[in-house]
A and B are shown apart, each in its own frame.
Chain A
């Protein structure tokens, strides 16, 4: 055993202690509250999505004539295909919920404030990557929803001044939605976005480590506990619970597939997945320019929120403007989402 250890140590000259040290990072005791484990859940779900995504690529064919048949094949014919696709689909929805909840937690504990502003920016970028993942993901199925979501989603980009049209052509691989579009979306979904997400997750966690976990406002406790094994164990429990929940969800609600994409016919009452409801409702209510412009302002505001918060603090200290504005925006988003879900 000693000889084997020495053999490895000679070839990989790393001091094991230097590896153990970051694992023992002390965490403030408030992290033991379950709601503070939310940050780890998107990372766990990302791993689930990568694993099931790789399995899906074994049968999926990114071609307009074969994509729908291949998804149908995965769902109804391939052994355990329904399970793999169901977990992938369910995990993608849960990922959005997890990221949203994590963002809300960070927002209301104001953990984004100096010096952690950039980590909020990275987090919002991760949220945008998650949404792009979801969008490109359901575009690959090539059913009616996929096709019309691709048409509407890419047309939204064309509205941008100057860069809109070139960007649209670049994304679609032509002026119209064509076979190139599916290849490009597939490429984004399985190569570009996963690479970006992995990179951003590393940067996000790296910054958390460099700054250490944000202290909880008004928490007098000074005790800490180690990242490994205590916190890792908690995250593992969360991960297992998520998997149990996902498996049950897939067994009770196995994945289905809509009607085949028909480029000439937009079906009545078509609408995107629930996480795009607020944008969808907003686009219905406003003119095109206001619809797109408003969405850009909203996303920019989200990115720059830590700096806006600091500005509000300077303008009117102790007025809690951050809380009023933030709550108003969250409420507005939820109202739009529920409104669309109920009224349609």
Chain B
């Protein structure tokens, strides 16, 4: 310990100081960039968002002024039929991602996880969800419902 403190107090030459500094900075940069590459390795390849038309069943399968939950590989969707339109809402709760359920008596979507509630239009009526349910674009062709959703053609990388 004594020897260590003695060497620490010996004044260093400028050359020695520069050499140590270059060595220190070089090692830090080298190891740092390697660590960054390792982090990059862990970061998943995320494909750009690509919306595709997904068939979601026949329009007659949706009860009038009611709701039908369809499980698509791209995600669960709530299809709704009003007097003059068919529309779709994402069935994923905007709070923390659980799947909501339609309660016809209460006429509300209720999340089983943290108790968030939404009305028929997807607006929050109670609980912690921060925003309304996500609206999904719908297309109708020959009585068939198509929803525009993000493609899930994503490989394990």
In the complex the two chains form, is B154's CB within 8 Å of A148's CB? no
A250-306 interface with B by 8 A CB criterion: 264-270, 280, 283-289, 291
Asked whether A288 and B112 contact (CB < 8 A) given A169-B43, A169-B46, the answer is no
A-B contact pairs, 16 of them (CB 8 A): A152-B96, A152-B97, A169-B46, A170-B44, A172-B44, A174-B46, A175-B44, A180-B156, A264-B76, A265-B99, A266-B112, A269-B112, A270-B98, A283-B128, A284-B115, A288-B128
Task: State the main secondary structure of chain A at its contact with B.
Answer: helix
In the complex the two chains form, is B154's CB within 8 Å of A178's CB? yes
> B62 contacts the other chain (Cβ, under 8 Å)?
no
In the complex the two chains form, is B98's CB within 8 Å of A287's CB? no
Instruction: Name B residues whose Cβ lies closer than 8 Å to a Cβ of A.
Output: 42-44, 46, 71, 76, 95-101, 111-115, 127-130, 154, 156-157
Number of A-B contacts (CB under 8 A): 70
CB distance from A63 to the nearest CB of B (A): 10
Asked whether A288 and B129 contact (CB < 8 A) given A151-B97, A152-B98, A270-B112, the answer is yes
CB distance from A127 to the nearest CB of B (A): 23
In the complex the two chains form, is B96's CB within 8 Å of A170's CB? no
In the complex the two chains form, is B128's CB within 8 Å of A151's CB? no
In the complex the two chains form, is A152's CB within 8 Å of B154's CB? no
List B contacts of A155 (CB < 8 A): 96-97
| A268 to B43 alpha-carbon distance, docked (Å) | 34
List B contacts of A283 (CB < 8 A): 96, 114, 128
List B contacts of A106 (CB < 8 A): none
CB distance from B125 to the nearest CB of A (A): 14
In the complex the two chains form, is B113's CB within 8 Å of A148's CB? yes
List B contacts of A174 (CB < 8 A): 44, 46, 154
CB distance from B147 to the nearest CB of A (A): 15
List A contacts of B128 (CB < 8 A): 283-288, 291
In the complex the two chains form, is B129's CB within 8 Å of A266's CB? no
| A174 to B45 alpha-carbon distance, docked (Å) | 7
| A33 to B95 alpha-carbon distance, docked (Å) | 47
| A291 to B129 alpha-carbon distance, docked (Å) | 11
List B contacts of A148 (CB < 8 A): 98, 113
In the complex the two chains form, is A151's CB within 8 Å of B96's CB? yes
CB distance from A271 to the nearest CB of B (A): 8
| A266 to B98 alpha-carbon distance, docked (Å) | 6
In the complex the two chains form, is A268's CB within 8 Å of B101's CB? yes
The residue on A at minimum CB distance from B70 is: A264
In the complex the two chains form, is A151's CB within 8 Å of B154's CB? no
> A156 contacts the other chain (Cβ, under 8 Å)?
yes
CB distance from B90 to the nearest CB of A (A): 12
List B contacts of A170 (CB < 8 A): 42-44
In the complex the two chains form, is B43's CB within 8 Å of A175's CB? no
| A155 to B97 alpha-carbon distance, docked (Å) | 7
Q: A173-B44, A265-B71 are in contact. List 12 more A-B contacts (CB 8 A).
A: A151-B98, A156-B96, A169-B44, A170-B42, A172-B44, A174-B44, A175-B46, A180-B44, A266-B98, A283-B96, A284-B114, A291-B128
| A287 to B113 alpha-carbon distance, docked (Å) | 14
In the complex the two chains form, is B112's CB within 8 Å of A267's CB? yes
In the complex the two chains form, is B71's CB within 8 Å of A264's CB? yes
| A174 to B46 alpha-carbon distance, docked (Å) | 6
List B contacts of A285 (CB < 8 A): 128
In the complex the two chains form, is A289's CB within 8 Å of B130's CB? yes
List B contacts of A245 (CB < 8 A): none
List B contacts of A291 (CB < 8 A): 128
| A315 to B115 alpha-carbon distance, docked (Å) | 42
Asked whether A178 and B112 contact (CB < 8 A) given A151-B98, A152-B96, A288-B129, the answer is no
CB distance from B52 to the nearest CB of A (A): 16
